[in-house]
Amino acid sequence: MPERPASERPTSDKIRCDACPVLCYIAEGHSGACDRYANHDGILVRLDPLTVIRSAGQAVKFLDSGSDAQDWNGDLVQGDRTFVTAVGAGTTYPDYKPAPFIVSQEIDGVDMVTVVTEGIFSYCGAKVKIDTDRHIGSERAIIRVAGEAIGHVMTAEYGSKMLSLGGVEHLTGGTKKEGRVTCDALLRLCNRAPVEMTVDDGATLIVQAGQPPIINGEAEHLMRVGCGSASIGMFARQWLGHADEVVVVDDHITGVLTEHEAGKGLGLPPSGIRIKGRRSTPGRYFQVANPGTGWGGTDIVDPLTILKPADPAIAWPGLRLLMISTTGAQYGYFELDAALTPVPAPIPEALLASAGLIADNCEPALCSVLFMGGAGGSLRAGVTANPVRLTKSVKDALTHVSCGGAEAYVWPGGGITFMANVMEMPLNAFGYVPTPALVAPIEFTLRRADYAALGGHMDHITPVAQVIGPDTRLLDPGTGQNDPNDSRHYGWSSRSKDTL
């Protein structure tokens, strides 16, 4: 950016930023509290450049609402066109100002409009999926960062633990420190950085989007193939002729081969091996042990501790017993002695291969982070002077919502409450303001005629060719990586502050 002549510089060395309610006064050569805007030679500049995806993914087919749409396949985003994201676009404050960019582009004869803005989200959070069987803490247990509560453990899903982090109660409803820590943790998570957190009466976690979870200092590698019962259903044939009984240890449903329908279907006789816990349907047992970080998400180290004495009327000396976990990572092979006590024995090659087969069928353990936000009245006013019309347009599938170019799922019911996968967005797509709140990109794409019908800011529509310039950051689709030829830099480092 060329330097302004001294005669044209303002007399004051500070300028006021009106991009958010904080209204910082920024000195020459410095950035505001959010690290997003700076004073460059007396001019307020946005540190992060406007980001454009060279070609975007396709949207779902939308409902037709007029004769001009008959030859249109409903592809709003259009995979073969550039897509202007809201990353680096800037925000609107006060609320009635039009969005920073309202971009028009003709696609196959259909005049489309994309309204681009970085929303200030006080009502936002992250839903985190951690692929692991390890016990991290009880449902509803508080999750803390730097000692401050930022969320809680939710109900577990198949092979995964779920976390609900952030939200307005933590951002603004607690102490000032709780709000700052929550905002900082959300910012790092959504920008794909690692965050260390603890669960009350549970584990210490390091969570990073797209990376394996680290639980109590140990990285997870595999997500379980299924519960103990499902594992038997999938792999019973692998054990036929090589074991007389197989017990698949799992915190939720431990499976017993000969009692299970899969074993009966293969003609296996009862073994007399008996399991502690609460019997459900045949071959399925609940609560065989406490949750933990041992076999199959239980607290056991020695699998024999879940066995009752074998039934002497059914079991026999020499009975071959395989005990294995739902990832195949832990296994033990035993044979019953004359007293019907399981004794460790060398595992046959065929059973060792079955453990490898189970592991091969396990997916890599990853952390998934979905940003969740509510697009309220302030954000919608930047799109239309009649905000409720935007909500109705989204619900009527006339307006497509994306987040940094990523497909967004819009929840049913009132408002525009959406979720998006941070791994599908450009790197460093999120910012913050110290109110505290996250700043997240959001785009609304619709036909120009529909935009006019909902009362859009038609006078502020700009052709896409006038928006994309030398200061635009160009990304390849799906990578989220910066253009390697992009060397623009104002001399500041965005996201430079360690804490808020």
User: Is residue 497 over pLDDT 50?
Assistant: no
**For residue range 89-124, what is the model confidence (pLDDT) as tens digits?**
888 777 778 999 999 998 878 899 999 999 999 999
Q: Compare 315 and 133 and report the one with higher pLDDT.
A: 315
Q: Which helix (H) or strand (E) holds 381?
A: helix 377-381
User: Is residue 61 over pLDDT 80?
Assistant: no
State the pLDDT confidence band at 249, using cuts at 50, 70 and 90: very high
State the pLDDT confidence band at 474, using cuts at 50, 70 and 90: confident
pLDDT over 90 percentage in the chain: 69
* Segment 47-69 mean pLDDT: 57
Give me the chain's average pLDDT, please: 87
**For residue range 339-396, what is the model confidence (pLDDT) as tens digits?**
999 999 999 999 999 999 999 999 999 999 999 999 986 789 899 989 999 999 999 9
Quote the pLDDT of residue 479. Answer: 52
User: Is residue 481 over pLDDT 70?
Assistant: no
Q: Specify the range with the lowest mean pLDDT, choosing from 84-98, 122-136, 244-258, 348-362.
A: 84-98
Quote the pLDDT of residue 55. Answer: 63
Q: What is the DSSP string of 414-453?
A: SSEEEEEEGGGS-TT--EEETTTEEEEEEEEEEEHHHHHH
* Segment 298-324 mean pLDDT: 97
Q: What is the DSSP string of 231-285?
A: HHHHHHHHHTTT-SEEEEE-SS-EEETTTSHHHHHTTPPP---EE-SEE-STTEE
Domain ranges of the chain: 51-122+367-475, 133-219, 228-360
Phi, psi angles (nearest 5°) of residue 69:
-100, 5
Query: Distance (Å, rounded) from C-alpha 26 to C-alpha 33?
Result: 9
Q: At what angle do helices 228-239 and 349-360 cross, to 10 degrees?
A: 140
Asked whether 211 and 128 are in contact (CB, 8 A), the reply is: no
**Residue of 219, 101, 222, 122 whose CA lies nearest to 168:** 122
Kind of pairing, strands 245-249 and 320-325? Answer: parallel
**Residue of 40, 97, 50, 23 whose CA lies nearest to 434:** 23
Pull the structure tokens for residue 311.
Answer: 């039934």
pTM of structure: 0.85
Query: Distance (Å, rounded) from C-alpha 389 to C-alpha 32?
Result: 34
How many CA atoms lie less than 13 Å away from 92 in the CB half-sphere? 21
State the pLDDT confidence band at 47, using cuts at 50, 70 and 90: confident
Quote the pLDDT of residue 82. Answer: 79
**For residue range 163-187, what is the model confidence (pLDDT) as tens digits?**
999 999 999 999 999 999 999 999 9
Quote the pLDDT of residue 270. Answer: 97
C-alpha dist (Å) from residue 311 to 192, 236, 308, 314: 54, 23, 9, 6
Query: Distance (Å, rounded) from C-alpha 323 to C-alpha 371?
Result: 40
* Segment 456-464 mean pLDDT: 93
**Residue of 349, 442, 428 whose CA lies nearest to 399:** 442
Counting every residue, how long is the chain?
500
State the pLDDT confidence band at 286, using cuts at 50, 70 and 90: very high
Q: What is the dihedral of CA 116, 119, 125, 129, to 10 degrees?
A: 10
Q: What is the DSSP string of 307-338?
A: EEPP-TTT--TT-EEEEEETTSSSEEEEEE-T
Phi, psi angles (nearest 5°) of residue 301:
-105, -40
Pull the structure tokens for residue 339.
Answer: 């007293």
User: Is residue 309 over pLDDT 50?
Assistant: yes
User: Is residue 4 over pLDDT 60?
Assistant: no
Asked whether 214 and 371 are in contact (CB, 8 A), the reply is: no
State the pLDDT confidence band at 499, using cuts at 50, 70 and 90: very low
User: % helix / strand / coil in the chain, to the nearest 5?
Assistant: 20, 30, 50
Quote the pLDDT of residue 80. Answer: 55
Q: How far apart are the first and last CA of the chain?
A: 29
**Residue of 189, 194, 186, 153 whose CA lies nearest to 170:** 186
Q: Specify the range with the lowest mean pLDDT, choosing from 27-36, 164-173, 278-287.
A: 27-36
Query: Distance (Å, rounded) from C-alpha 248 to C-alpha 105?
Result: 57
**For residue range 397-434, what is the model confidence (pLDDT) as tens digits?**
999 999 999 999 999 999 999 999 999 999 999 999 98
Residues paired with 143 in a beta bridge: 151, 199
User: Is residue 17 over pLDDT 90?
Assistant: no
